[in-house]
Amino acid sequence: MLKFIPIKAVAGIVGFESPAAEYTQLSLDLDQLLIDHPSATYIGIADGDSMVGDGIFSGDLLIVDRALEIKDHDVVVANLNGVFVCKKVNKSKRCLMSSGDNVPPYFLQEGDIFQVEGIVTRSIRLHRPF
């Protein structure tokens, strides 16, 4: 089990005694912190740069929750015609939107095979990939 120090770390400040020295370490379970519905959650890996406007970069871990109800503009992982995609959903326009530059929205059409696999609740940047 990891130890958790309940302070924010400001990037860029150096040369001071650690303010964490005054805090007691608390036990932290990353599952409890990151996963709301353990039996309905899986982890995927982002591929590509179409969602960088939402802070999702290629290689990031995606925590995907299948227990949540989809709302407009949720970021989801979905199966679109046999390809897994990570996009924002616009339910009223039946549209999948990217947040990267120069990526047009995709409007679902008759005959598309489309299944939402879950809502991306969190993404984790790996600074040292697998």
Q: Which residues are catalytic?
A: 50, 87
Report how many helices (DSSP H) and strands (DSSP E) the chain contains, helices first.
1, 9
Which two tokens mark 68?
Answer: 């949540």
Query: Could you give the CA distance from residue 86 to residue 31 in angstroms, rounded to a whole number?
Result: 22
CA-angle at 35, arms to 56 and 44, nearest 5°: 40
Residue 53 dihedral angles phi and psi, to the nearest 5°? -65, -20
